[in-house]
A and B are shown apart, each in its own frame.
Chain A
Amino acid sequence: GNSVTQMEGPVTLSEEAFLTINCTYTATGYPSLFWYVQYPGEGLQLLLKATKADDKGSNKGFEATYRKETTSFHLEKGSVQVSDSAVYFCALSDFRSGGGQLTFGSGTQLTVLP
């Protein structure tokens, strides 16, 4: 079956530091890949996505590239802000599943200190 493995947290960084959160996946087909973010007390919201190999998703200074050869979708940001403190989830969706349901990683808690 499908699975997503992401870097365990928590991760604590100083403001303006570089961020990488690793994510690798296992899927039998050609899934779409997503990063969702969950701010305290809120539901998940889409941060970025990529639908095919070598696609780069980007939003709010965050980037991730769909690497089929390494089955990875690592999240990066060049300079984090205090407002980026949240839980980040890597996820995949396999169209062949019929319902388009998401398979999530376990989440990575990020705290950015001023």
Chain B
Amino acid sequence: NAGVTQTPKFRVLKTGQSMTLLCAQDMNHEYMYWYRQDPGMGLRLIHYSVGEGTTAKGEVPDGYNVSRLKKQNFLLGLESAAPSQTSVYFCASSLPPGGIQYFGAGTRLSVL
């Protein structure tokens, strides 16, 4: 019973490098989300998707891009990483809007 799986779990980047974080869910959920967690700030929404082929901006979208080519996958991309993007990234999915969200274990990213 995998639920929501995030890869990788840890990554260190240099400023200006690019990378893609992968989120996969096996619950047939329509809605998927990317959050970042920073100390003392809770979780903030980066981008979300309400279905395959759709994406929308959240509270802090700058510097990130996303794609939802398949219903089960939601990719988060950093085209040119900056130290301000050092954070823990969480993916989540839900079936109905406003319903329970199921979270992955997170990706810890450091940008030097």
Contact = CB atoms under 8 A, between A and B. Distances in A.
Contacts of B90: 43-44
B103 interface: yes
Interface in B27-78: 31, 33, 40-45, 48, 50, 56, 58
A104 to B, nearest CB: 4
Interface stretch (B12-20, B79-87, B91-99): B91-99
Interface residues of B, number: 27
Contacts of A89: 42-43
B101 interface: yes
A77 interface: no
B100 A46 contact: yes
B42 A101 contact: no
Interface of B: 4, 31, 33, 40-45, 48, 50, 56, 58, 90, 92, 94, 96-106
Interface of A: 4, 32, 34, 36, 41-46, 49, 89, 93-95, 97-102, 104-107
